[in-house]
Structure 1
Amino acid sequence: MIEWSEQGEQQRARWRSEAGAPAPARVQPADDTLSADSAYRLACEGTALLWRGDFQNARQLLQALMRRADRKNPKAAAKAAQKLAGATPSERFHLHRQAQAQRARTLGALLIPVAGDYSIPLRRAPDWREACTEAWGPADGTPSVVALRELLGMVGAHEWRKKGVEIPALGAAPGNRIHPHYGVFSPLRGEYIDLVAQALLPSTELAFDIGTGTGVLAAVLARRGVRRVVATELAPRALACAQDNLQRLGLQGSVELLEADLFPPARAPLVVCNPPWLPARPSSAVEQAVYDEGSRMLKGFLAGLAAHLSPGGEGWLILSDLAEHLGLRSRDELLGWIAAAGLRVLGRQETRPRHSKAQDAGDMLHAARAAEVTSLWRLAVAQ
């Protein structure tokens, strides 16, 4: 619950945070009379601003806060540049995440009230009840409070869910779209999908897709002619998302969804896994597709793969080497885990990333991103 004082009375509402952040301890009602400079100062000091004015003005205020958060003070910028100049790649990564977290905390200080039916009780507020229902489930009549930045992210996810992401590897339009749900990682980076779409299949009888997410790789395998695909997933949102996508694509008869942590209780001639690429702690559900503290899923996949491969079968590990360029994991460590699991490398197919950050020289992690390679490792049981 979040609590605050307003007009001499104590108020309470449900606190909503996808990242699991605690409810702010200091909350101050705010409206259109609050200047952007004052709002930014209060946000930096840790005071949350519960908006009571015009909704569209709140959106403009958030944009003003973004400009101030991104504005570089010359002295601070020089100090930061000096600190980065002597930093190792892993130190740069952690500084980058710290800066992201600080920015998120500041911008997350602007709060919006949401009524018990998910309507927004502010002037000129849009009707976003459908987006809220998709993210939070059916309304139960309890008023809540959420950061405007998170609310906008929910609406963005709602639009992506309606529009879908075109996946060329699934064939021609319009039957080639994946519709990501809120809190499920969107397959916007297509290079890893293309690797799975182009690799030579060891069998078309059966395949496992471990940690299916939106279901995109399971769908690609089914469209490639694999007669039966078993796709596992642990997150309820991802299971619902994969089920929705498989039905949209008409593949529910070819792909079986199973709630499981990693493997189904069987063996297959092909086992595919695209685990999170960076060994770091995620700060929200959607980040769990990118960050995996201690490489838990990667290690778990490798450790259990031999026991779930049919004789002569292959395990496909789709993994970026960005963690290696950032100093978070070494190639020797990865090869050591493969060997310790009783596996051998049959081959590796590689591709370069096509996303914009790989060409952004101003990005703090540009050197690592520019060198990044995504690989499909073909693994088999060691003889």
Structure 2
Amino acid sequence: MATAHWTESGTPRSARWHSESATPPPARVVVADDRTKADTACRLAREGTALLWRGDFHNGRHLLQAMGRRLDRVPPGPGDSPAETFHLHRRARGHRARLLSGLLVLLEDDHCLRLRRAPDVRLACAEAYGPPREPTLVPLRELLGVIGAHEWRRKGVPVPALGARVHPHYGVFSPVRGEYVDLVARAPLPAPAGPRTGPRTAFDLGTGTGVLAAVLARRGVGRVVATDISTRAMACARDNVRGLGLAGQVEVTGPALFPDGRADLIVCNPPWIPARPTSALEQGVYDQDGAMLRDFLGGLAGHLRPGGEGWLVLSDLAEHLGLRTRRDLRAAIAAAGLRVAGRLDTRPRHPRARDAADPLHAARSAEVTSLWRLTAG
């Protein structure tokens, strides 16, 4: 357990340190309040000094926003290639996040935030961090994410393919990009060997919120086994399966990629970008060296029943960024002893695909998300 230390009113203090990005506790912490200026806060953050906020909660949010505006004044320049532009952009965003994470707040031993005009964050923190144990220092930026995640969880995300909402937990990728869900909802189900007319068993690998497992169950698959390596995701998927009334059809298990046995249909929507995640929260987007994609392809043939299919749901954004080629993907499919039985494509509908100010706009505007229908042999 990491501990952060500081001095306040002449008295040495310490508290447990928590960071979702696994950054070490700050070596130096000073107290900041409503008198602290954004320029001063940015200078201290650049020097490696963290600020423990003791002022008004909303003023702390305003200070964080003002720091962000100052850090955004010099955007990263374009690289000589799409891949270099991506890496420069990501490096700049990571540097920005580290500096902004230097503005801290103290959660008391009951997860209470004792600041003027502070909201009651106890339930949101218990959902994200577990039961309270002791006073804990966390970045204000992270706490705002915890509060936002609580609202997502409370309100839910509408999924038209289900005619219902799913409720993402903190740290679990939310199905706000509905095009990949729609692909799974409309792809033709395989017709396995034998007298059955449709899949009897399906696996949903890396289930996250459980949304794809729920879609398969609603499409009539009798038994769906959903897996994930994240305990947060497994808890989230179980909650959603129960809430949708599908607990009798969907089993959530893990931590693992493949469950035991074979299935008529195996679905996997791996992280789309082959780059190293810098926190647990990024693992739904970034997959270092394409490890999950490689493991899915490598294990698929050995887990399919005769006549079964594997559905790989994957964006080609990495191809437009120069991080992977279509030839690489097809070679990996062939090397795993698989063949492509068909493919369904769709265009993204999210606003960033139309944001010309985004440094990665050229790649995002050309992106296509595909459902690759794969069979053994």
Query: Quick one: which of 215, 218, 227 aligns to 2:213?
Result: 218
Structure 2 length as normaliser, TM-score?
0.95
* Residues 134-283 of structure 1: pairs in structure 2 closer than 5 A: 134-140=127-133, 142-171=134-163, 176-202=164-190, 203-283=198-278
What is the match of residue 117 of structure 1? Answer: 110
Match of 1:45 in 2: 47
Tell me the residue number matched to 2:92. Answer: 99
One of 338, 350, 358 as aligned partner of 1:355: 350
Partner of 2:195: none
Secondary structure of 1:170 counterpart: coil
Unaligned runs of 5+ in 2: 191-197
CA distance, structure 1, for counterparts of residue 158 and residue 308 of structure 2: 31
Q: In structure 2, the residue corresponding to 1:14 is in which secondary structure? A: strand
| Residues 21-36 of structure 1 aligned to structure 2 (within 5 Å) | 21-36=23-38
| Matches of 1:260 and 1:307, distance apart in 2 | 19
CA contact (8 A) 2:231 2:255 kept: no
Shift in Å, 1:363: 0.7
Please name the residue that 2:325 is paired with: 330
**What aligned pairs does 1:357-372 form with structure 2 within 5 A after superposition?**
357-372=352-367
Match of 2:71 in 1: 69
Q: Structure 1, residues 148-206: CA drift from partner, whole Å, max 9, x if none?
A: 110000000000000000000002xxxx1010000001000000000000000112311
2:40 partner amino acid: S
Matches of 1:8 and 1:110 in 2, distance apart? 21
Q: Which amino acid aligns with 2:202?
A: A
Tell me how far 1:262 sits from its aligned partner: 1.1
Task: Give the Cα–Cα distance (whole angstroms) in 2 for the partners of residues 68 and 88 of structure 1.
Answer: 27
1:332 positional shift: 1.1
- Asked if structure 2 preserves the Cα contact closer than 8 Å seen for 1:117 and 1:129, the reply is yes
Pick aligned residue for 1:2 from 1, 4, 25: 4
Residues 226-272 of structure 1: CA deviation (Å, up to 9, x unaligned): 11111111211000000000011000001011114211111111110
Q: Please give the alpha-carbon distance, in whole angstroms, between the structure 2 residues aligned to 1:223 and 1:12.
A: 51
Please give the alpha-carbon distance, in whole angstroms, between the structure 2 residues aligned to 1:100 and 1:374: 25
Structure 1 unaligned spans of 5+? none
1:93 Cα shift? Answer: 0.7
User: Could you list the runs of 4 or more consecutive aligned residues of structure 1 that deviate by over 2 angstroms after TM superposition?
Assistant: 5-10
Residue type at the aligned position of 2:338: L
Query: Is 2:287 the counterpart of 1:292?
Result: yes
**Match of 1:123, as an amino acid?**
R
Question: Could you tell me whether the CA contact under 8 Å between 2:45 and 2:100 is conserved in 1?
Answer: yes
Write out per-residue CA displacement over residues 36-60 of structure 1, whole angstroms, 9 at most, x where no aligned residue: 2211221222211101222222122
Work out the CA distance in 2 between the residues paired with 1:278 and 1:371. 15
Separation in 2, partners of 1:67, 1:286 = 23
SS across alignment from 2:334? helix
Letter in structure 1 aligned against 2:19? S
Shift of residue 33, structure 1, vs aligned partner: 1.6
TM-score by length of 1: 0.94
Matched residues in 1 for 2:90 and 2:152: separation? 26
CA distance in 1, matches of 2:136, 2:257: 35
Whole-angstrom distance in 1 between the partners of 2:149 and 2:314: 25
